[in-house]
């Protein structure tokens, strides 16, 4: 049986609600995932699922009842609350009636960028949660070994980012680092830093990429910062054949990741 909670002043309710804020996620090293599919992926990926909340309607489907039993068999506590209180714990209007709280461990650059890695993605101040989540999902599909999120990027545990990753948040090696330490270590490990940049004559599909490549994707409005551009080994651009000024950051990253991957397989 799920443990029923009917008061919004319950400590577990208040604690879970606090994780909707970035500062509390960072302080507690925990984040919220919402939806039946992403919780099943969390279980499959052996993520550290602390506990689960369901609403009054969740157990109406047979497969949902079976999933609750799986959680209980794994000794994961399941709490049940009213639809009204449950809706205060999420940031979406349409809900499947289930959320989980997952623990994460911050990753250091030295410990998580190894000699065997050959393909790294550097994100410079990516701000849109949808873009961030899509980039993480695409990097997973394209076989990127690690993502380095520089200062100024949106919180990767933002609920909108989590939803956009479609489960890839559990698979990807995502590291937070300063620009200085990232450049230093990548150069030390013989990576070429390749930046997506409009002011160059190099089209992305005319360049031969190094067997160790770090691709930089910049801020949606302002691109890559000047210092990082100056430290890049190669600048590339995607041709624009129509009248659009530029491509969306997530779309650009997908095109470039798959082109570079051809040289690394």
| pLDDT tens-digit map of 84-141 | 999 999 988 889 999 999 999 999 999 999 999 999 999 999 999 999 999 999 999 9
Q: What is the mean pLDDT of residues 42-61?
A: 93
Q: What is the pLDDT of residue 246?
A: 87
More confident residue, 93 or 149: 149
Q: What is the pLDDT of residue 137?
A: 98
Q: What is the pLDDT of residue 109?
A: 94
How many CB atoms within 10 Å of residue 173? 17
**DSSP 8-state symbol, 78:** E
Task: State the burial class of residue 131 (Cβ atoms within 10 Å of its Cβ: 0-12, 13-18, 19+).
Answer: buried
Closest CA to 144 of 257, 265, 263: 257
Q: What is the mean pLDDT of residues 66-83?
A: 94
Residue 168 has pLDDT above 90, yes or no: yes
Q: What is the pLDDT of residue 160?
A: 95
Rounded CA-CA distance 218/208 in Å is 21
Rounded CA-CA distance 230/199 in Å is 13
What confidence category does residue 245 fall into, taking pLDDT thresholds of 50, 70 and 90? confident
Q: What is the pLDDT of residue 176?
A: 96
Residues of the chain with pLDDT > 70, as a percent, come to: 100
More confident residue, 63 or 234: 234
Q: Contact, 228 vs 179, CB < 8 A?
A: yes
Q: What is the pLDDT of residue 93?
A: 81
Where do the H-state alpha helices sit in the chain?
A: 11-18, 22-28, 36-44, 62-73, 83-87, 109-112, 129-141, 159-165, 179-188, 226-230, 249-261
Residues of the chain with pLDDT > 90, as a percent, come to: 92
Rounded CA-CA distance 154/132 in Å is 7
The domains found in the chain, sorted by start residue, are 3-103 (3.30.1330.30), 109-261 (3.40.1280.10)
Q: What is the pLDDT of residue 80?
A: 97
Q: What is the pLDDT of residue 265?
A: 81
């Amino acid at each position: 049986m799920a443990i029923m909670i009917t008061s919004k002043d319950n400590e577990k309710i208040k604690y879970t609600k606090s994780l909707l804020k970035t500062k509390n996620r960072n302080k507690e090293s925990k984040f919220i995932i919402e939806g039946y599919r992403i919780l099943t992926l969390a279980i499959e990926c052996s993520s550290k699922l602390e506990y689960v909340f369901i609403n009054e309607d969740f157990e109406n489907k047979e497969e949902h009842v079976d999933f609750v039993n799986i959680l209980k068999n794994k000794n994961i506590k399941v709490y049940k609350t009213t639809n009204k209180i449950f809706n205060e714990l999420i940031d979406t209007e349409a809900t499947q009636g289930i959320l989980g709280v997952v623990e994460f461990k911050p990753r250091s650059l030295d410990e998580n960028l190894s000699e065997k890695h050959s393909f790294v993605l550097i994100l410079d101040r990516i701000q849109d949660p949808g873009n961030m989540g899509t980039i993480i999902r695409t990097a997973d599909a394209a076989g990127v070994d690690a993502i380095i999120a520089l200062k100024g990027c949106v919180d990767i545990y933002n609920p909108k980012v989590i939803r956009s990753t479609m489960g890839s948040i559990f698979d990807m090696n995502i590291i937070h680092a300063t620009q200085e330490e990232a450049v230093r270590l990548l150069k030390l490990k013989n990576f070429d830093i390749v930046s997506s940049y409009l002011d160059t004559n190099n089209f992305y599909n005319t360049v031969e990429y190094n067997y160790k490549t770090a691709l930089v994707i910049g801020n949606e409005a302002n691109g890559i910062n000047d210092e990082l551009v100056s430290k890049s080994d190669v600048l590339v651009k995607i041709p624009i054949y129509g009248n659009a000024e530029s491509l969306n950051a997530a779309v650009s990253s997908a095109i470039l990741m798959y082109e570079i991957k051809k040289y690394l397989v």
